[in-house]
Amino acid sequence: MGRQWRRWRRRERRTVQRYGILNEQSDLRVHICPTVRRVYVYETSKGVEAVESGKYPARVAGGVGSYRATARGVVLPPFEIEGCTCVQVSDKVWDFFNFLRSDTTSAKGAKAQAMALEMIHNGQLPLPAMGEGVVDRALQIAGQDIVIGGAVAGQGVRIQVKCDFNGGDKALGGTGNLFLQTHERNPGKHY
C-alpha cells in the first residue's frame, strides 16, 4: 500500500465510516462515466466479490475543492467484474445532462440518477430479471407463458447509481478502471 493510503489511515481513522459497495443493499450498480460517455452495469454481489478478492489496489479520492481524501475504495478494470456490461448512450443524452467536472458531488449524483432513470424508462439499461415458465394450463390459456419477477423474491431490482466521472475505458480517455468505494469521510455532509 502506498504512502497516501497510510496517511489516510493515520489521519482519518476517527472520522472514516464504512460506506459503499460492502454494506449497501442493492442488487445492481450503475456507474455513469461522463469522460468516456459510457455506462457500466453489474450485479452488486459480483462487485463485492471483486473487492473482497484482494487482487485490486486500494485508493483514496477527494471531492471537488477537497484538499483531503474523502473516500477510500478499490480500483479495477470494469470487465474484471463478472458480468459487467458497457452501455453506449447517444451524445444527445450526454449533452442533455451536461455533466461538469466543477459540479458538486451532490449535483453529479443527481444528474447520474436522473440519467439512469431516463435509461430505464427508454429500455436502455440492462436489468436482470428472474423468469419462470408458467406450468398452470389455465394461466397459459389466459396468455401467461413466462412470468418475470424482480431480483429478490418478487421485489423490484434495487439499483445504486454512481457518477464515476473519469472511470471507464482508457482508450476513450478514462482511467481504465471503475472506483468501488468502501469507506467515506464526509465532513461537509454532501450526498
Q: What is the mean pLDDT of residues 10-36?
A: 80
25 pLDDT band, cuts 50/70/90, is confident
3 pLDDT band, cuts 50/70/90, is low
The one-letter amino acid code at 155 reads: Q
Q: What is the pLDDT of residue 188?
A: 54
- What pLDDT digit, counting tens, does each position of 80-131 carry? 999 999 999 999 999 999 999 999 888 999 999 999 999 988 889 888 766 6
Q: What is the pLDDT of residue 64?
A: 54
Instruction: Write down the pTM of the prediction.
Output: 0.79
Q: What is the pLDDT of residue 177?
A: 96
pLDDT higher than 90, residue 152:
no
The one-letter amino acid code at 99 reads: F
Mean pLDDT for the chain overall? 82
Segments making up each domain of the chain, as ranges: 3-129+158-184
- Identify the residue whose cell numbers are 418478487: 154
pLDDT higher than 50, residue 156:
yes
User: All 3 cell numbers of residue 92?
Assistant: 444527445
Cβ proximity of 46 and 84 under 8 Å: yes
pLDDT higher than 70, residue 166:
yes
- Percentage of the chain beyond pLDDT 70 is 71
With a CB cutoff of 8 Å and minimum separation 6, the contacts of 160 are 21, 24, 26, 28, 29, 30, 44
